[in-house]
Amino acid sequence: MEMTPVYTPQSPSEATVIAALMDAHNIRYVMQGQAFGSMYPGPLSVSLNESILLVAHEDAELARELLEPFIRDGVRP
């Protein structure tokens, strides 16, 4: 399955909310880097603690629509 990067959450709590949103709409996703970031919490390095939301290519358009409020205020990958 081809995965498409859609969004970079700004915090672990935002990543949790986004994961719940993806689950609620049956969107296939992976939050890449989330487990590694928990090994080194805090401001160690942005690149080490960064998570990226990847969604199934077929679900990318719906995911972007659902994430529009986050994307407007956040950072795209």
pLDDT tens digits, residue range 22-65? Answer: 999 999 999 988 665 455 555 554 555 678 999 999 999 999 99
Task: Read off the pLDDT of each residue in 5-16 and give the average, rounded to a whole number.
Answer: 89
pLDDT of 69 reads 86
pLDDT of 72 reads 73
pLDDT of 50 reads 79
- C-alpha 77/C-alpha 74 separation (Å) is 10
C-alpha 74, offset from chain centre: 11
**Backbone phi, then psi, for 25, in 5-degree steps?**
-105, 15
Domain boundaries, the chain: 3-73
Tokens 């679900």 identify what position? 59
- C-alpha 12/C-alpha 61 separation (Å) is 23
Which carries the bigger pLDDT value, residue 74 or residue 9?
9
- Domain boundaries 3-73, CATH class: alpha beta
Show the beta-strand stretches assigned E in 1-77: 3-7, 29-32, 52-56
In this prediction the pTM is 0.75
